[in-house]
Structure 1
Amino acid sequence: MPLIRARHRLAGLLLALACLPALAAGPTALRVGGDPNYRPYHYLAEDGSPQGFDVAVMSAIARERRLDPRFEFGEWGRMLNRLEHGEVDAVPMFVSEDRALRFRFSRPFLRRHHVLYGRRGQQVGTPDQLAGRRVAVQFGGMAWEWLINEQANAVLRPMNDEAAALVAVAAGNADFALLPSDIAERALAAGDLGDIQPVSPPWLERNYAFGVNPARPELVAELDAGLQAIEASGELARLQQQWLQPAAAKVAKARPLPVWLPVVPVALVLLGGVVFLLRRNAAAGRD
C-alpha cells in the first residue's frame, strides 16, 4: 500500500509539473490591425493611443479570453495585405464574398451600409448611373471593391480614408463619394462641407466582423466565444451606446420673452386711436 500511495503522489507531481508551463504562460499575444482615421470605429488619438468602438470590443473580448491585443494601424489596403500574409492576426471590417476568399471571419457584431453622397438636387438610384462620373472612395475599401465588381464604369478617385472622400466632393475633385453612412454623417456634422448630402438609397448592406489571418483558424473560435460572452453580459450593447450612438443634439433654449412684449401691440393700437382722434378733432376745428 505505501508503494501504491507513493506512485499516486509521484503521478500527481508529474501532472502538476506538466501543467506549470501553461499556468505560467501569460495571455496570448494578438496583433490587431486597422485604419488610423476610421472614427468612431478605430483610430489613433492625438497622443497616438488606439481608440474607438472596435478597440473597446477587442479589449473586452481579450479580458474574457486571456488575450493580449496590440494594435497596429496603417494604410488600409496595405493592412489587408498584412492580414492575408500573417503579419497581423485580426482586422475589423465589412464581410464580403471576395474577402471570405482571403480571410476567415468571426461572428458579426454589427450590420452597416453605405450611401452615395453628392450635392443637393442630385439623385442616383443604381450604380450604373455612375458611369463616367468621378466617385471618391477609400482605396481598398468595401466601396472600392464593390464598384469594381459591379462594373459601374465609374472613374474612381482613391482616398486615404473615408471622410476624405466627402472633402473631395466639396472641393470639386469628385462628383460623388461612396462611404459608410454612419462615418459620413459624423463627418458632415463635424465639418463645413457645404451642400453635400445623401443622394442614393442605402447600398452595400453588410455584416461587420473581425477578419482573421487564414493561418489562425483557432483564433476564430476564441473571438466568437468572447463576442458571445460580451453580448450575453450586455457589454457589447453598452459599448455601442458609448461609441456609436450620435450625441444628443443640443437644443438651444429659447430666451424668455420680455414681460412687456405682449403689451406692445395693445399700446400701438391705443396710440393709433389717439392719433386718429386728434386728427379728426383738428379737421373739425378747421370746418
Structure 2
Amino acid sequence: MHKQILPIALLAIAVIAAVIAGCTGTPPDNDIPDPDRTYYIVGIDEFYPPHTYLDEKGKPAGFDVESMIWIAQDQGLDIRFKTREWKGIISALLDKKIDILCSGLSITPERAEIISFSDPYWAINQGIAVKKDSPVTMEKVMSGSAVTGTLKESTAADWIKRYLVGIGVLKKDRFKPYDDFQSGLTALEEGQIEAFIYDAPGLIEAIEDRNLEYLGSIKTGEKYGIAVRKEDKELLEKLNTGLKHLTESPKWAELIAKYELNENN
C-alpha cells in the first residue's frame, strides 16, 4: 500500500512544482513582442522593497510579487517576471514589452487615460527622508527651503510639481528628479540634495541600512493598482477576480505581516 502511495505522492509534488515554476519563470532578455507567446510578462521595478525587488539569489521577491503569483495560480495564468527601470515602465506596457505592471503603481487620472487599473490593493502616502542628524525639518521641506529630490515619472514628482514648484514655493533649480531610486538616495547621502520624497513604504525600507532617516509622511492617500493595456479587458477581469479572492483569503494577512506593511504610511 505504501509502495503505491509514494509514487503517486511524488507525482503530485512534481505537478505542483511544475505549476509554480510556470508562474515564476524568466522571459527572454530581448524586448521584441512575440505574438505567439502563451504567457504573460509581469513588469516590476527591482528597487522597490518591500513591494518588488530581487532577493539574494537574484530572483523576484516582495509583497507584490507574491501577490501576483497567488493571483496567477488562482486564475490559471502563466506569468513571467521581468525587471524594468521605473522610468519608461508604463511605456514598456503600452509597447507590449510587458503585459502586466504590478510594482507599487499609484492609480492616477492621468495614467488611467492610457492604461487600465485593477481594483486598488494598497493605500500609501508620500514620505520624506533626510540625512541623519540633518537640520532639515518638515516645515523647511514644505516651505521650499530644502533642495528636494525624487524619482522621475513618479507620483512624488507630480506632487512636488503641483504643490511646491507649481505654486512657487520651491524654485525649479532646487527640485532634482532622478532617473532611478538608488541614485536619488545616494545624492541625499552625499549632500547633493537635502530631502528626498517618495512612496513611504518603499522609502522606509530603502533607507534602513543607509546614513538616512525618515522625517515624516505627506498625506496623499494614493492607491496602488495592477495595470494592463486598455484592450486587455478579459485579463483585467481575471486579475480583479484573483485579487478579490486573495484579499478574502488568509494569505493576504500573512503577506501583510511577512512584509511588515503599515496602512498608516
* TM-score (norm: length of structure 2): 0.73
Shift of residue 215 of structure 1? 2.2
| Aligned equivalents of 2:232, 2:139: Cα separation in 1 | 41
Match 1:180 to one of 190, 194, 199: 199
Q: Is 1:118 aligned to residue 134 of structure 2?
A: no
CA-based RMSD: 2.5
Shift of residue 176 of structure 1? 1.2
SS at match of 1:76: coil
SS at match of 2:196: strand
Q: Residue 97 of structure 1 aligns with which residue?
A: 109
- Can you give the 5+ residue segments of structure 1 that lack an aligned partner in the other structure? 1-25, 247-287
Amino acid at match of 1:83: L
Rate the CA distance shift 1:153–1:32 in 2: closer, same or farther, 3 A.
farther
Q: Residue 17 of structure 2 aligns with which residue?
A: none
Rate the CA distance shift 1:161–1:243 in 2: closer, same or farther, 3 A.
farther
Match 1:142 to one of 142, 149, 155: 155
| Aligned equivalents of 2:113, 2:171: Cα separation in 1 | 24
| Aligned equivalents of 2:217, 2:205: Cα separation in 1 | 18
* TM-score (norm: length of structure 1): 0.68
| Percent of aligned pairs sharing the same letter | 24
1:136–1:176 contact (8 Å) kept in structure 2: yes
Match 1:44 to one of 31, 51, 54: 54
Rate the CA distance shift 1:201–1:50 in 2: closer, same or farther, 3 A.
closer
Match 1:189 to one of 208, 218, 230: 208
2:41–2:80 contact (8 Å) kept in structure 1: yes
Q: Residue 279 of structure 1 aligns with which residue?
A: none
SS at match of 1:205: strand
2:136–2:194 contact (8 Å) kept in structure 1: no
Q: Is 1:215 aligned to residue 224 of structure 2?
A: no
Moved over 4 A (4+): 125-128
| Aligned equivalents of 1:180, 1:202: Cα separation in 2 | 9
- Can you give the 5+ residue segments of structure 2 that lack an aligned partner in the other structure? 1-21, 24-37
2:189–2:211 contact (8 Å) kept in structure 1: no
Q: Which has the higher contact order (CA 8 A, sep 6+)?
A: 2
1:153-192 residue CA offsets vs partner (Å, 9 max, x unmatched): 4433233433543332221111210012222222332223
SS at match of 2:79: strand
Larger radius of gyration: 1
